[in-house]
Amino acid sequence: MEKPTYRPDLFYHWTEIAVRFRDLDPLNHVNNAVFNSYFEEARIQFIHHIPEFKASVKSGFSFVLVHLELDYIKPILMGETILVGSSVEEYGNSSIKGFQAIYSKKEKELKAVAKTTGVWFNLEKNRPARLPDMIDREKYLFKG
């Protein structure tokens, strides 16, 4: 998987997260399962940052994560604040492939990368749905 060097313009959306004591494991670094929670929090903020998705969520739609590929690169330690970059890699009819990366805020050191596939889902009908029509959807693409 690609391991991009930090650039502010690399990802469309950035989420800042402070590491909490409860995120740590007995080795005193962030537990591997928590990395996924960080990526999830950033994906949710990313979705709500796109007007067409935000409006559609209010109408009973949501993404369902169907695939996650995650590479752990460096440990995240107590006291760190991280930046999670989120962008789209590819659009389908009802799915989006996303690319995300976690960096330390202070050193801009790459900590992990993830590729995801989410399916846009009609919660009332309990089935996949077409993605909402988006204005200028190319601006959400990964710039790597």
Q: What is the pLDDT of residues 2-37, one digit of tens each?
A: 999 999 999 999 999 999 999 999 999 999 999 999
pLDDT of residue 116: 98
pTM above 0.75, yes or no: yes
- 3-class secondary structure, 58: helix
pLDDT of residue 84: 98
Q: Fill in the DSSP letter of residue 34.
A: H
- 3-class secondary structure, 53: helix
**Which of 93, 83, 142 shows the shortest CA–CA distance to 118?**
93
Q: Are 134 and 52 in contact (CB under 8 A)?
A: yes
Mean pLDDT over residues 89-107, rounded?
98
| Whole-angstrom distance, CA of residue 7 vs CA of residue 109 | 11
| Mean pLDDT for all residues in the chain | 96
